[in-house]
Amino acid sequence: MFPELVRALPVVVLICIVPGYFWSRLLCASEDFASRLAYSVALSITLVPATALVQIRLAGTGLNLTVAVATPLIVFVAGLAAYLVLGSGKEPVAPLLKSPPALASPELALITLAFAGALANLVGLVPDWLAWPAAALLVLSAGTVHLLSRPDGPHPEGLSPPAAGSRRSRLSEGTARHVLLAMILALVLARGYLGPVTEDWPFLRADDQYQHTIMTRLMISEGFTGSFMLYPPGIHLLLAELNHLGGLEPLTIFAVLAPALLVPPTLALYALGRLLWGWRYGLAAAAFYGLLAGGPYWYLEHGRYPNIIAAQFLMVLAVAALVRLYRAPSWRTGGLLALLGSSVVLYHQVSSLYLALLLGLVGAFFLLHALRRDRSRGLALLSSFSFLGLLSAFYAWSTYDLPALAGGLLGGSEAGRTGEAARMAIGTKPPESLTSIIEMTSQPLLWLGLLGAVLLTFGGGRPANGPGLLARALLLLWTAMMFFGSLTSMSGFPDRFERDLGVPLALLAALAFVTVLRPLSSSPGTPTTIVASLAVLVTATVVDLRAMQGLVKAAEPSPQQTLIPQVASAGRWLEENNAGGNIVASPYVHHLPSRGVLALGGYTAIQSYEGPRIRRARDIPPTGTEPLLDALWLLERPTGERTRRLLERYDIRYVVLSKRYPSSSWPAFKARPDLYRPVFENDVVVIFEPQR
């Protein structure tokens, strides 16, 4: 892997970091290097695909080498020119929100009991049915006791700059921050790379990367992917850039770089936590997301890379941009929100649903109020939302067939591909169990997040300003939206809501954990300090144990290892003998879906699904069920007039059959050498060439 990684990294830097650097300085300058890096990456992967999309739409071609070379240069030069003319933006000096009052001995004792029970549960001493309700009840009790015992009166939001210290103390603090963040990122990278390096290489775990490989090839050759799948073009435009400039095939890019996708969201959580409460909270949020949350690693194991980019990176920074805009309205912060918010639409449809719901709630609760009470802030929000909507419409216009969708919503007979996809999704997937939610988010993240929600709601005093109120409401609405969306099939994607719940929970957990740590700075030997030490010891033990379990699991063989040497050999043979046309493959070859065989061989059609999945009619290609039923016919019936017509209609060059697939018909194909010539065979796969 190392040679490919060395080859890929310079190209990634040139495409995914450098183009957005001056844009980040222009729109949201930050003295903190990690925050600046996060925004540079976000703006690069927003502006580079968007600029490429404009060029290929105007030219009516695929993303060729000329476009690939010109695009990052255009973005970089435009950002540099704008920065030189307009200058740098300014970052707020102090964190937006004030930390809750320090916890007292009763609250700390309840937290100790809650996490002692969680620890006993993790090591198998206490059953789930007893430990989980007890932990939730104890954490809520701690929050209630804190609420009832806290001093009366409002607490300021902490907008004034902190007291200046000596230059040496500031340098020491900065060094500690950078060292701790580097350690967190190293552990996050270990969680991502341990399994692929020790167990997988040179093969890939997961299967969704195959469909993205096919769509990247379609983006290069045709400029559209709608014939294969209803999917936003962001990741495919980015992969096409990397393919042209780095000479790496998409499957190689995924194998080398996919585990590193956990790093940008970790930086984004750090940046947002730092903006809200300060760098200590940012570090805690980054650690909780990168090492405790199960959703990011689940996406990595299943190849759901656009989910990580959109829901767990771009959306986090879009929320940060919204907080910045409400705090200090300007064209810079408004443009930042519009760019980052719309980029979510460029990468993933379910993440776009999250953003639409969250911004809709913000609009309902804050926009109208701001227009009435604070006209400048309200107009800034309205302008940014309008620009965000225009950019989103441009990204979604051809992907989601917006004219047909609008016509259907206004009373037309057809709602287009998007309307049909929405009809298939809403209410058809049952929600996961509460047990699944707890296991996916992890116990320490959930219990600390629950405590953080109570502290955020009641522990910081009455907000003294609009931005503070917005920041609190945003975080609470975001968490509630993800939680309740995971509990209902009417969200369309309850499993995705569940796996993305850990993102806002990481921020709430960071607030709770640092609040638990704060009494340690008081006079040693006091009862509160002693109880706090015990609470920190037990809580940190649970966090460390869960993080260690995650690292151990990441280093183990994955059940999502879909590619084996026999299937890889068949894929290489198909690629070497690819002279055009299409192929049809068993719905699964070993554990690899048919689109994996297509990707390995360099083909784009035709897909094949199992009969029950076709009948369920969820997540099927935009072409509908007819090609899928035709593929199933070809795979099950090697002879007949209809089979002959379908072979000609789809220009089928090879039929790829799994010997281990249930009810596989490969012996029937082998029994007709006059119609099908075997051209490749091993103990798992056999490939037949239809005789014309």
pTM of the model: 0.92
pLDDT higher than threshold 50 for residue 153: no
Name 457's Cβ contacts closer than 8 Å, sequence gap at least 6. 472, 476
Check if the beta carbon of residue 323 is closer than 8 Å to that of residue 271: no
d(CA 429, CA 616): 11
Q: 187: which 2 tokens?
A: 């552990």
In 3D space, the residue among 378, 361, 360 whose CA is nearest the CA of residue 369 turns out to be 378
Check if the beta carbon of residue 646 is closer than 8 Å to that of residue 630: yes
pLDDT of 201: 78
Digit-coded pLDDT (tens) for 282-305 = 999 999 999 999 999 999 999 999
The domains of the chain, with CATH numbers, are: 2-97+171-406+414-506 (no CATH), 565-690 (3.40.50)
Give the mean pLDDT of 115-125.
Answer: 93
Return the DSSP state at 639: S
The SS3 of residue 677 is strand
pLDDT of 68: 95
Q: 107: which 2 tokens?
A: 């609250």
Phi, psi at residue 585, to the nearest 5°?
A: -130, 160
In three state form, how does the secondary structure of 315-354 look? Answer: HHHHHHHHHHHHHCCCHHHHHHHHHHHHHHHHHCHHHHHH
Q: Which DSSP string do the residues of 269-328 spell out, in sequence order? A: HHHHHHHHT-HHHHHHHHHHHHHT-HHHHHHHHHT-HHHHHIIIIIHHHHHHHHHHHHHS
pLDDT higher than threshold 70 for residue 169: no
Mean pLDDT of the chain: 88
pLDDT higher than threshold 90 for residue 466: no
Return the DSSP state at 689: E
Check if the beta carbon of residue 159 is closer than 8 Å to that of residue 96: yes
Residue with tokens 């151990």: 552
Q: Buried (b) or exposed (e) across 541-580, using 16+ Cβ within 10 A?
A: bbbebbbeebeeebeeebebbbbeebbbebbebbeeeeee
Q: Helix 167-195 and helix 263-276: axis angle, to 10°?
A: 150
Check if the beta carbon of residue 425 is closer than 8 Å to that of residue 492: yes
Lowest mean pLDDT among 60-64, 194-198, 401-405, 507-511: 401-405
pLDDT higher than threshold 50 for residue 315: yes
Which residues are registered as beta bridge partners of 593? 588
Digit-coded pLDDT (tens) for 657-687 = 999 887 778 899 999 999 999 999 999 999 9
In 3D space, the residue among 358, 338, 650, 658 whose CA is nearest the CA of residue 481 turns out to be 358
Q: Which pLDDT band, with edges at 50, 70 and 90, does 175 fall under?
A: confident
pLDDT higher than threshold 90 for residue 164: no
Give the mean pLDDT of 436-452.
Answer: 94
In 3D space, the residue among 393, 354, 622, 343 whose CA is nearest the CA of residue 492 turns out to be 354
Which residues are registered as beta bridge partners of 148? none
pLDDT higher than threshold 90 for residue 492: no
H-helix or E-strand containing 655? Answer: strand 652-658
For residue 475, give the amino acid letter: L
d(CA 595, CA 265): 28
Residue count of the chain, please give it: 692
Digit-coded pLDDT (tens) for 236-281 = 999 999 999 988 888 888 888 999 999 999 999 999 999 999 999 9
pLDDT of 161: 42
d(CA 58, CA 48): 16
Q: Which pLDDT band, with edges at 50, 70 and 90, does 629 fall under?
A: very high
Name 315's Cβ contacts closer than 8 Å, sequence gap at least 6. 344, 351, 354, 355, 503
Residue with tokens 């003998």: 577
H-helix or E-strand containing 658? Answer: strand 652-658
Name 429's Cβ contacts closer than 8 Å, sequence gap at least 6. 489, 492, 493, 494, 495, 618
d(CA 595, CA 609): 10
Check if the beta carbon of residue 249 is closer than 8 Å to that of residue 8: no
H-helix or E-strand containing 681? Answer: strand 676-681
Better pLDDT: 81 or 103: 81
Q: 594: which 2 tokens?
A: 């048919």
Give the up-direction half-sphere exposure of residue 338: CA atoms within 13 A in the CB hemisphere. 21
Q: Which pLDDT band, with edges at 50, 70 and 90, does 430 fall under?
A: confident
